[in-house]
């Protein structure tokens, strides 16, 4: 089975054409996809006519399911969540700040895979920023200041009862198109190095950013905030970015160990629905 890889015009990302993900893939094809994924960090597979069973099978080619700690899965698919925004929804756009999925965990996931089921005619791009490129181009002075530092990761700003999706949103009376579960566990913290090596390629990379990172181990809060803000402004610069435009039926997978990502709005008055798996 042959396929075509077309790199994006951005700092990462590529489109793979010629594959039908509703069918089982040969081990050699899976190996080639993985190599392309590690090289480009974000892969898009357009024109896929598939269901959740196909999505699960494709996901398992790359590892076991990691689950979603704070988002309810589909009733009949415990490893698939639905990210849906109704046409008349007025809540803030979900995940519209730079982050890498579940970096607050002890073993953050490798891949996130999304299947676009209902895609609005405009807006809703997913933006990515290449953290290998950001580190490689980083000024020596800034790198020296973060070298060897351990970042404190936590989900508290989003998924704690006092977080963005907690009691304040519930009190507003506004409804989302999917269920978010806040928890006291979101106050927990986990240390990860600001600079680490990719576990498969060995290439150095920045990991995480302000939001899920709430401090730096051993550093005063105000000093840490200033350093994290400087780092954030560098690692999200436009030259390191790729903005992905969705199409109905498209599948997108990205490497959480290599990129940050964020959602975007701009499709008011239209429904948007995607199904997601997360791979350990």
Cα angle value 61/58/252 (rounded, 5°): 115
Domains along the sequence of the chain with CATH: 4-279 (3.60.130.10)
β-partners of residue 206 are 195
Given its phi and psi angles, is residue 110 left (phi above 0), alpha (psi -120 to 50 degrees) or beta?
alpha
CA distances from 279 to 5, 12, 71, 75, 202 (A): 22, 20, 15, 19, 19
pLDDT of residue 2: 83
Sheet of 259-263: strands edge to edge?
241-244, 126-130, 259-263
**Of the candidates 221, 252, 230, the residue with the CA atom closest to the CA atom of residue 111:** 252
> In a structure prediction context, what are the per-residue pLDDT tens digits for the chain, which is 280 residues long?
689 999 999 999 999 999 999 999 999 999 999 999 999 999 999 999 999 999 999 999 999 999 899 999 999 999 999 999 999 999 999 999 999 999 999 999 999 999 999 999 999 999 999 999 999 999 999 999 999 999 999 999 999 999 999 988 888 888 899 999 999 999 999 999 999 999 999 999 999 999 999 999 999 999 999 999 999 999 999 999 999 999 999 999 999 999 999 999 999 999 999 999 999 9
pTM: 0.97
pLDDT of residue 65: 98
Tell me how far apart the alpha carbons of residues 250 and 264 are, in angstroms, rounded to a whole number: 17
The phi and psi torsions of 87 (rounded to 5 degrees) equal -65, -30
Tell me how far apart the alpha carbons of residues 62 and 80 are, in angstroms, rounded to a whole number: 15
Q: Residue 161: CB partners within 8 Å, gap ≥ 6?
A: 167, 182, 183, 184
pLDDT of residue 252: 98
């Amino acid at each position: 089975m042959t396929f075509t890889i077309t790199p994006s015009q951005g700092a990462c990302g590529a489109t793979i054409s010629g594959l039908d993900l509703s069918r089982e893939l040969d081990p050699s094809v899976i190996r080639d996809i993985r190599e392309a994924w590690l090289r480009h960090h974000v892969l898009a597979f357009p024109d896929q006519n598939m269901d959740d069973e196909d999505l699960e099978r494709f996901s398992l080619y790359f590892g076991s399911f990691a689950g979603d700690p704070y988002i309810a899965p589909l009733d009949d698919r415990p490893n698939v969540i639905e990210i849906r925004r109704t046409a008349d929804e007025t809540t803030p756009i979900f995940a519209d700040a730079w982050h890498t999925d579940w970096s607050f965990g002890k073993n953050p996931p490798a891949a996130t895979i999304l299947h676009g089921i209902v895609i609005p005619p405009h807006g809703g791009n997913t933006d990515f920023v290449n953290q290998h490129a950001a580190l490689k181009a980083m000024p020596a002075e800034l790198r020296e200041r973060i070298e060897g530092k351990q970042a404190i990761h936590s989900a508290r700003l989003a998924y704690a009862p006092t977080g963005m999706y907690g009691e304040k949103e519930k009190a507003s009376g506004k409804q989302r198109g999917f269920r978010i579960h806040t928890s006291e566990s979101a106050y927990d913290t986990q240390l990860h190095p600001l600079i680490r090596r990719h576990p498969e390629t060995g290439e150095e990379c920045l990991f995480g950013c302000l939001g899920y990172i709430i401090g730096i181990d051993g550093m005063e809060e105000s000093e840490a905030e200033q350093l994290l803000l400087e780092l954030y402004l560098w690692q999200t610069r436009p030259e390191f970015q790729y903005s992905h435009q969705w199409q109905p039926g498209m599948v997108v997978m990205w490497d959480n160990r290599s990129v940050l990502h964020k959602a975007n709005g701009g499709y008011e008055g239209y429904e948007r629905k995607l199904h997601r798996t997360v791979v350990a």
